[in-house]
Structure 1
Amino acid sequence: MSAFATWQYCGEPGEGQKAALVQFSNGKLQNSENVNFSLYKSKDTTNPRKKFRRILAAETDRLSYVGNNFGSGALKCNHLCRYFVGVLNNDSGQMEIYDAELFNMQPVFSDDLKDNETTLGNQAKSYRDQVDFCIEAFGTTKQKRALSSRRMNKVGSETLNIAVAKAAENIIDEKGVTALINDAAQDDLQDESAYLPPCHADGVKPEEIYKFEDLLSPEEYEALQIPSEVLKNVTSEEIVKMMEENSYCPFVIEALKNLPLNEKSRDHKARCLWFLNILIKFRSQNVIRKKNSLGPDVPHIINTKLLKNFTSLTYSNGSLRNLISDSMKAKITAYVIALALHINDFQTDLTMLQRDMKLTEKRIIEIAKAMRLKISKKKLSLESGGEEDHKMGILSIPLPALPRRKRT
């Protein structure tokens, strides 16, 4: 027996009964239960341009986020479209429909807030002193009373700061400076790990640390069968042509020279190399204006994966675009390293990857150490007859200790 539901519209535009739909610009929430949202409304209800202004704040364990429906950071689509949210009551069969509004949540970093607050404080200080001086000289009794109250609150705030400083001193005395520094370094690494592939540190084998399924799902792996055929059946002449045309990065070309003869292993390695080459090409871009920017040969599921996991959606010049920020480039680099480890028996040439992705040696080693790889040197022979030092990244058990970040 089929079930039916009826709609019940519960909000008209202008009543302020809009549900908030949020999207996070820098990734996807792992656990939505650990987020606290706060909505702030404009107090100016008489001004038609200001009374519908809203600011939405979100607090997580790692970051704070803020989004608004006005100003340069607001989504223009709110003015072009109407959005609705439906809540279905299974008992009554009625779906309550509410007006909704989109908020693009941007991360707020403590350093930025500190700099802004310092700058604004310096600008406001001299102006505030002048206003206070005028109130003392020419103000009404009500204004002078308000000034006195504000100064008393300031004294109370200073007392609170002294109490907090004293409490901090007690914590340092009890726990020790070294332990506090270690805790802070651990927090920094946890923030950085948001851009790394999932690490299963309790794994007993290298392949269990960075699992292949976390890099490519079974459906995505299956979709690579057709486009990777060109690498699976590659000939020596075709490899030379690839080098001349620069159609594949040198890391992939070197790996193609040593494809295994076993049919299953050869097919697996060809798929991984094809996807690694696509990741490196994708990383070289800054803004994705078309979904098939890498060409028609890239399967739809792979395009979707790249846009969803390695870009942030932005609005610019009247259109939505997918931006590959510096943090997203670092994330792609980490996934490239993890995939290269699976390709080369869990030790890979970081120098070749660094050159293919146009990175500095310091940066790729920094990411490799964050992934808890051992770094070693290896001399490789050059076609000219000489030798060259290459940095190698090795994933071995037990994992090295987490690197300690230098704090300024």
Structure 2
Amino acid sequence: MAATATWRYRGDPEAEQPAVLVRFSNGRLQRPDAMRFTVYRNRDAAHPRKKHRRILVSETERLSYVGNNFGSGVLKCNSLCRYFIGVLDKDSGQMEVYNAEIFNMQPLLSDNLLPDDTKEYQNKSYREKMDLCIEAFGTSKQKRALNSRRMNAVGNDILNTAVTKAAANIIDAKGVTALIQDVAQDDVQNISVFLPPCNEDADKPENVYKFEDILSPAEYEALRVPAAVFVNITPEEITKKTEDKSHCSFVLEELKFLPDDEKRRDHKARCLWFLDTLIKFSYLKVIKKKHPMGPECPHIISRKLMKNFTSLTYNNGRMMDIAKAMRLKVSKAKALLGLENDQNHKLGTLSLPLPVQKASGNQQKRRKMN
């Protein structure tokens, strides 16, 4: 017949002191019988919470360990579960059951056993803890790298402090309003780098920009040969080019009304040919280093395009932003051939008075053309 055992609940082994179960966070003990334990209780026995606080300290020949049942490092299982320990008398078959509490023992690398010292260490970042380990146990190479990083951090702090102080001095001396005006003026100057000089006091639209600032005499002369196809163009050729969509619709429309006077006709043909080349150039995705617009384009014109229109553009090359920067009045295009149903097409007109120029940060965006 199998032996039977009975158990009896005894509560705490001592007054308000459960039995202690311990576990060590850094491994398994080789000689558990050589451990010495000490329990520290909170003096405030009248406080309903503090009177149950305990600090458990254990010592070995090499290290000291500490654990507690309160604070941020306490095991959550103590608040979610109840633990018991039973002592069995094999002769009588009687088991005495007592309340128990688990303590997580951690090595303490200090002679001071107060929990506030460990709290400061726990609040440090992972990088700070690693630096402390390098200081104590790191190799010479690791320590040199640590010192170098700390010196760089100090240098950066000094530089940031100096920059902040200099900026504060400038603001105090000049004022925020004046600085904002300077930034706005810089934006306007940046725009003017890429556009011909603008005469805001002009009395006629043709005097707002000087023709020589757009096309130099040498460039204008170079346009004589390629623009000859426009000078001698026939209505049939204009119709065919319209069907082929080989030119800008504005250029094709203006070719219908070339002046009869030979000199004026040649001048307008050169301007239209240069405008048409500019528009075609703006749609290129890949630019060849030699003859980007074909061999019929004069070398001086190709060089002008590559120099002025491949490094910097406005807002990813939107023609709308360029038109506004040139102080053109933008309106919907009307009665242009082939654009009757195009609601997105706009017409830029140079007229007086000039629209107010507004500098925008988006106008400084740049892109490289491959």
TM-score, scaled to structure 2: 0.51
Distance 2:161 2:342 in 1: 62
Partners of 1:197 and 1:210 within 8 A in 2:
no
Give the Å deviation of 1:162.
4.0
Residue 271 in 1 paired to residue 226 in 2?
no
Select which of 173, 193, 198 maps to 2:196: 198
Distance 1:172 1:226 in 2: 58
Distance 1:271 1:261 in 2: 15
Q: Structure 2 vs 1, CA of residues 386 and 291 (structure 1 numbering), >3 Å: closer, same or farther? A: closer
Which shows bigger deviation, 183-192 or 138-147?
138-147
What SS does the aligned partner of 1:375 have?
strand
Structure 2 match to 1:295: 294
What SS does the aligned partner of 1:287 have?
coil
Code of the aligned partner of 1:288? I
Counterparts of residues 83-162 of structure 1 (less than 5 Å)? 132-139=131-138, 147=146, 151=150, 154-155=153-154, 157-158=156-157, 161-162=160-161
Partners of 1:198 and 1:214 within 8 A in 2:
yes
Residue 226 in 1 paired to residue 225 in 2?
yes
Counterparts of residues 25-64 of structure 1 (less than 5 Å)? none
Distance 1:153 1:386 in 2: 64
Partners of 1:259 and 1:266 within 8 A in 2:
yes
Distance 1:220 1:208 in 2: 20
Structure 1 match to 2:243: 244
Structure 2 match to 1:183: 182
Distance 2:172 2:360 in 1: 23
Select which of 366, 369, 374 maps to 2:329: 374
Give the Å deviation of 1:252.
0.9
RMSD of aligned residue pairs (Cα, Å): 4.1
What SS does the aligned partner of 2:181 have?
helix
Distance 2:225 2:292 in 1: 19
Partners of 1:310 and 1:332 within 8 A in 2:
no
Select which of 358, 365, 370 maps to 1:403: 358
State, as a whole percentage, how many aligned pairs show the same letter: 59
Distance 2:210 2:275 in 1: 16
Code of the aligned partner of 2:250? F
Distance 1:154 1:383 in 2: 65
Distance 1:207 1:382 in 2: 26
Distance 1:384 1:400 in 2: 26
Structure 1 match to 2:320: 365
> Please, which runs of 5 or more residues in structure 2 have no aligned partner?
1-124, 363-370
Counterparts of residues 334-373 of structure 1 (less than 5 Å)? 363-373=318-328
Give the Å deviation of 1:243.
0.9
Partners of 1:380 and 1:388 within 8 A in 2:
no
Partners of 1:381 and 1:387 within 8 A in 2:
no
Give the Å deviation of 1:268.
0.4
Q: Structure 2 vs 1, CA of residues 148 and 280 (structure 1 numbering), >3 Å: closer, same or farther? A: closer
Q: Structure 2 vs 1, CA of residues 308 and 157 (structure 1 numbering), >3 Å: closer, same or farther? A: closer
Code of the aligned partner of 1:197? L
Structure 1 match to 2:17: none
Q: Structure 2 vs 1, CA of residues 127 and 401 (structure 1 numbering), >3 Å: closer, same or farther? A: farther
Bigger CA radius of gyration: 2
> Please, which runs of 5 or more residues in structure 1 have no aligned partner?
1-125, 312-324, 334-362
Distance 2:316 2:207 in 1: 20
Tell me the alpha carbon deviations over residues 302-344 of structure 1, each in whole angstroms, 9 at most, x when there is no partner. Answer: 3333334434xxxxxxxxxxxxx6x35x5997xxxxxxxxxxx
Distance 2:347 2:226 in 1: 29
Code of the aligned partner of 2:236? E
Partners of 1:199 and 1:210 within 8 A in 2:
yes
In the comparison of the two structures, how many residue pairs are matched? Answer: 237
